Structure formats: C-alpha cells, structure tokens
Amino acid sequence: MARLQVDTVRCASSTPKLDKLDPSSYGLLSPPDSPAPGVVDTEDTVEVTDAMTTRATRLSIPAPVEWPQFKLLVDAKDLQPLGRSFPMQITYEQHKVRMERRFGSIASYLTNHVLADLIAETNAPGFDPHAPLVVSDFVFRANDFPYFLGDGVEHWVMWCKKRLEPGFEPPAPAVDAIEARFGRRVEWRYFVNPVHRQSVPQLSHAHVFIKRS
C-alpha cells in the first residue's frame, strides 16, 4: 500500500456549496457492505505459508505509530517506517489468496463486487471522465487492512470516478468531500499512489487518515 502524503492545503473551490452537515447530499456515505477495518470474510480457509510469513515479517512494523509521530513522518514524506501489524499483514496475505481463488484477482474482486455500482456509474451514458472533479465523484470506504497506527486514527480509502493525480496535494473537491464526510474539526492526511501501485487501474483512489478530536 501507499507510502506518500500531503500537508493539507486549503484552496478555493468551484464546487457547489451543498449542506456540509449532510454527507448523503453528496453521495459520500460508505457502501453498505463496507466493514470495519480488518473485518473480512474468512469462511474460505487459507493456510499461512512460509512465503506469507516471510513477506509479513518484512512489511509489518512491531508497534503502532502514534498520531503526532505519524503527522511528522508524512509531512516529511518519510513513510518508510509505516506499515501494518504482523497479524494484519498475515490477514491481508490470506485475503489476497482468497480473492484470487474466487474472483481471479484483487482487481476483479473490487471491480465486480465492492465497487460495482461506482464502476457502473463511470460506464453510464453521458459520463465524462475528463469533466472537472465534483464532490459527488467520491465514495469513502473504511480500509479493511489499515496501517498500524495509534488508537483513534482511522484509515479510509476515498474512491473517485475520475482520475486523481498521484502525490500529495488534494484537489479542492477532495478537500470538500473529506470535510463533508468527516467534518471540519478532524485532523487528516491524504495521498494518492502512483498508478502502477493502484489496485483498480480504471478507478483512482486516495488514502485518507482521520484523527477526531
């Protein structure tokens, strides 16, 4: 998963000023099947292999990163110290195998199951992928396999119907979408992975980290 971030920049937006207290007016509510982070289907048993253990050992971190340290790291664009916990990384490795068995690939699982409605909207007559971004282009989903962070830090994936530029700067409609979904009193950080690291090439997504007061 991604290792980039941005310091929040407040900038002017041409997005219509809808009721910021009502995220549903933007279409920003999470999909109905969105589970809590780390809660995934495990009925199809997947044995933990040596390769999974080796990979989890390499990619995981031993202790949670607390929010103040997390902000310092991402603001310095030094995300190498971040990762999942070992148990979470193992769960993720098992999930990848499970989804490959059922759907052929993680991308197919997301496209045909988790994000089917959003994909359908991008294929609808009249949809223009090159039109300016608007707040209703975004849909939030709790990250099933979040980074190992301190208590109270939420890791969300913000899917978008249109292309998001990789990097650290959230476009103004993304800022509006985050504030509409979570309010203006939360602290947050945002990044978009390079395209080659994105799980569904036809749909951009940003990672958003939320810390409520």
Model confidence at 26: pLDDT above 50: no
Which structure tokens are listed for 116? 């089917």
Per-residue pLDDT of 71-121, as tens digits, reads 998 888 887 898 999 999 999 999 999 999 999 998 899 988 899 999 999
13-17, 21-25, 68-72, 207-211: range with lowest mean pLDDT: 13-17
Averaged pLDDT for residues 149-153: 97
Domain boundaries, the chain: 23-39+49-211
In this prediction, residue 22 carries a pLDDT of 52
**Rounded distance, CA 109 to CA 116, Å?**
9
Model confidence at 23: pLDDT above 80: no
In this prediction, residue 35 carries a pLDDT of 42
Q: How is residue 40 annotated by DSSP?
A: -
Residue 14: pLDDT band with limits 50, 70, 90: very low
Averaged pLDDT for residues 123-137: 96
Residue 4: pLDDT band with limits 50, 70, 90: very low
**Rounded distance, CA 198 to CA 166, Å?**
10
Q: Residue 171: is it exposed, middle or buried by C-beta count within 10 angstroms (0-12/13-18/19+)?
A: buried
Three-class DSSP category at 133? coil
Residue 126: pLDDT band with limits 50, 70, 90: very high
Q: Which of 209, 99, 79, 109 is nearest to 150 (CA)?
A: 209
Q: Is the entire prediction scored with pTM above 0.85?
A: no
Residue 169: pLDDT band with limits 50, 70, 90: confident
| 71 or 197, higher pLDDT | 71
In this prediction, residue 197 carries a pLDDT of 74
Max avg pLDDT among 1-5, 53-57, 166-170: 53-57
